[in-house]
Amino acid sequence: MSIWSSLYTGRSGLTAHGDAINVVGDNIANVSTVGFKSGSANFNDVLGRRTGGGQNMGAGVQMGSVSQAFGQGSFIQSGGALDYAIQGAGFFEVVGEHDGVENSYYTRNGRFSLSADGLVVNEQGLRLQGYPVDANGDVAGPSGDITISGQSSPVATTTADLDVNLNPTPDPAGPFVFDPLDPHATSDYQSSMTVYDSLGNAHDVQMFFVNNGGGAWEWHAMVDGSELNGGTPGQLTEIADGTLGFDTDGNLDTETLNASSADFVGATPGQAIQFDFGDAITTDGGTGAGSTQHAGASTIESVSQNGREPGELVDIITADDGTVSGLYSNGETEPMAKLAVASFRSPENLQRQGDQLWVASRDSGQALLGEAGTSGRGSIASNALEGSNVDLGDELVTLIAYQRAFQANARTVTTADEMLTEVANLKR
């Protein structure tokens, strides 16, 4: 009976080590697979019949489980704008259908791309998950699909900041009484700036300044009538006006905005622009910094406004905290999302699904989503991918060990067979 048992004992060794060689072979085959995590075979002994002394005899071995190793793989610089690697613990969450099953999946393979409808997806079309953000890049809602906008929306100008120096010496041809029908001949200084309407169209605004003496000035903002509803082409039309006052040191003391409204053609009517010439002492309770009335030529020192034209997406930039921003042709950079990173109580117990995907199990615990770099989650490396964590040298040594064990178990079978042959020959 024991000779027959030794055959099955040897067979169990052949089966277990054959399965173990398969695990090693899987590791070696995936040595170049992005985001792959190696496995290792675990063996369990098998008990047979009880001996006369009350102890159970061994009846061979079985491969009990495959342990997953989630150690860090080396980074591969890829240059892809949507290629990501996690430096440290955590997984990307992707959602969609894989092998006919709709689910949330987790992966370390950070090779993503844009779908036709602007969604960030992996190679299997599963949608990468992240958080919506506000203009400052702060999380502004629950996690969901990440969408990259191919165009930056236009913004209408609502504020315009100008720092000017106005020559206190009156124009010899003055003093002037401003005439909107002939502004160039009835003003002391002229300049221009660009503003944008709600469609993103740029408009050239002519600025006229009139010296009323004693540090008092008036200003007028005008555009060509062809750009306004009801305007006369070729004739400047006023869209805003106000006054400036300077103290005896030439510092800005007062500023007023009398009116501001522009009905640009095709755009939202009644566009108001808040013109600001500095930190006025009396009006703003400020320091007088900004516009000045100092000797010398009148000139515009600086101009800024908050409007912009639409822009096309030219690049995607991702920070190490996972904030994804779009760089547009109009020079604007807009934060659009923040990558979500999932952590698990026991990642070794995640269920492998193929294509470098895992799903949560009872033993792994549920996914804990959060921002990169928080609560032990790793940071994001952009333009890079995480390679396989397989150590080829270790795998080859392990393969040799399993091969020797397989050969030894084969010898057990052949020895038992020879013994049974001897038993069969006893009757002769």
Q: Where are the beta strands (DSSP E) in 214-235?
A: 216-224
Residue-by-residue DSSP string for 107-173: ES--B-EE-TTSBEE-TT-PEEEEE-B-TTS-B-S--EE-B--SEEPPB---EEEEEEE--SSPPTT
Contacts of 206 (CB under 8 A, 6+ apart): 183, 190, 191, 192, 221, 222, 223, 236
* pLDDT tens-digit series, residues 8-19: 888 888 899 999
Contacts of 17 (CB under 8 A, 6+ apart): 402, 405, 406, 409
* pLDDT tens-digit series, residues 56-89: 666 788 888 899 999 999 999 998 999 999 999 9
pLDDT band at 161 (very low <50, low <70, confident <90, very high): very high
CA–CA gap between residue 381 and residue 215 (Å, rounded): 57
Give mean pLDDT, residues 357-369.
Answer: 96
Counting other chains too, the contacts that 206-213 makes at CB distance below 8 Å and 24 or more residues apart are: 206/236, 207/162, 208/178, 208/183, 208/184, 209/164, 209/166, 209/244, 209/298, 210/176, 210/178, 210/186, 211/166, 211/168, 211/170, 211/171, 211/174, 211/175, 211/176, 212/175, 213/170, 213/175
Q: Kind and range of the H or E element at 58?
A: strand 56-68
CA–CA gap between residue 231 and residue 227 (Å, rounded): 7
pLDDT of 382 above 70 = yes
Coil, strand or helix at 80 = coil
- The answer to whether the bond into 142 is cis (omega within 30° of 0) is no
- Give per-residue burial for 10-45: e unless 16+ CB within 10 Å, then b: bbbbbbbbeebbebbeebeebeebbbbbbbbbebee
pLDDT over 70 for what percent of the chain?
97
Give mean pLDDT, residues 190-219.
Answer: 97
The runs of H, that is alpha helices, within 206-291 are 281-284
Confidence at residue 5, expressed as pLDDT on a 0 to 100 scale: 73
pLDDT band at 53 (very low <50, low <70, confident <90, very high): low
CA–CA gap between residue 61 and residue 46 (Å, rounded): 5
Window from 43-57, 100-114, 292-306, 327-341 with minimum mean pLDDT: 43-57
Confidence at residue 45, expressed as pLDDT on a 0 to 100 scale: 85
Mean pLDDT, all residues of the chain: 93
- Return the ∠ at Cα 192 (arms to 153 and 264), rounded to 5°: 45
* pLDDT tens-digit series, residues 131-154: 999 988 999 999 999 999 888 889
* pLDDT tens-digit series, residues 292-326: 999 999 999 999 999 999 999 999 999 999 999 99
Q: Comparing 75 with 412, which gets the higher pLDDT?
A: 75
Block residue for tokens 């002391």: 188
pLDDT of 52 above 60 = no
